[in-house]
Structure 1
Amino acid sequence: MVDRNDIGSWLSGPDTSGISKYPGERLGLPESGSGSIARAGRRILAIVLDWGIALLISNFAFGGDSWATLAIFAAEQMLLVGTLGYSIGHRVAGIHVLRLGGGPAGPMAAMVRSLLLCLVIPAVIFDPDQRGLHDKAMNTILVRR
């Protein structure tokens, strides 16, 4: 005869002891506040603002050419993230890009990260710590300021 204790292990649900309680916990980051992982709302706000700025510049300078808009967006990301650690959208959203160890992203990481971001797919595929493939490729992280 089957005893309740025999089936109790799968009724209690999966073992979650190795799963993080919040994004960034495995990386040693705080759950909230400054230095915590930038959540989706802030990321979306930042990218919408940055794309809007690129679109405005493109409309005035190039008649709204979509390739010009993409190039302006990429240039903004490369220049600003590579030098300041944040784009205009990042600044407004209160987030910035760092190396995983805590240092600045730097120009090379900003360039590769920006090019991958322009491909879109690496940005929408992310891990439990909410790091997109473009961040994982360059060992960077987007955190709250």
Structure 2
Amino acid sequence: MTDASPSNSYPGERLGLPASGSGSIARPGRRIAALAIDYVASTIVAMAFFGYNQFALPSEAGATQFAPMLVFAAVNVLFLPTLGGTPGHRLLGLRLHLVGGGWVGPWRPIVRTVLLCIVIPAVVWDADQRGLHDKAAGTVLLRA
């Protein structure tokens, strides 16, 4: 869902970002693909190290049913402040930045990840195509 505004001719204009190319707002296709890459990788790690079985019935899964999401959250919290993006972001040429510049620090990735794991904030966007998880954390996902 987007919030269209007549004062913006492109996403990121209000933030002083370019319309396209390096430093512009990451578009939904790349964001979703990066999310899919990260979640598939997290699921593979959970299967390898925690005995997660994605085909198990809920009654058989036990505590391991949350393993992929926990791995996903750990990857986000670890890589966002250190590498500027998750492996999926980096593979697709995206970087997480603080609005206004500077290092995102350790707490912003935690807030962003918790909200991303809730899912709802990630699918609600503003006119700049920033999800509520990014707005709450004061971050923006840009093309590298």
Gaps of 5+ in 2: 53-63
Task: After TM superposition, give the deviation of residue 19 of structure 1 in Å.
Answer: 2.2
What SS does the aligned partner of 2:48 have? helix
Task: After TM superposition, give the deviation of residue 140 of structure 1 in Å.
Answer: 0.4
Task: After TM superposition, give the deviation of residue 45 of structure 1 in Å.
Answer: 1.0
Over residues 68-115 of structure 1, what are the superposed CA-to-partner deviations in whole Å (9 max), with x where a residue is unaligned? Answer: 110000000000002121110000010010100122212110111011
Mark the CA change 1:21 to 1:54 in structure 2 (over 3 Å): closer, same or farther: same
Gaps of 5+ in 1: 1-15
Q: Distance in 1 between matches of 2:5 and 2:30?
A: 29
What SS does the aligned partner of 1:36 have? coil
8 A Cα contact 1:77 1:114, kept in partner: yes
- Structure of higher CA gyration radius: 1
Q: Distance in 2 between matches of 1:107 and 1:52?
A: 24
1:90 maps onto 2:78 in alignment: no
8 A Cα contact 1:97 1:104, kept in partner: no
- Output the TM-score relative to the length of structure 1: 0.86
8 A Cα contact 1:82 1:111, kept in partner: no
User: Does 1 or 2 have the higher relative contact order (CA < 8 Å, sep 6+)?
Assistant: 2
Task: After TM superposition, give the deviation of residue 18 of structure 1 in Å.
Answer: 4.4
Number of aligned residue pairs: 130
Identity, in percent, stands at: 51
Task: After TM superposition, give the deviation of residue 46 of structure 1 in Å.
Answer: 0.5
- Output the TM-score relative to the length of structure 2: 0.86
Mark the CA change 1:102 to 1:118 in structure 2 (over 3 Å): closer, same or farther: same
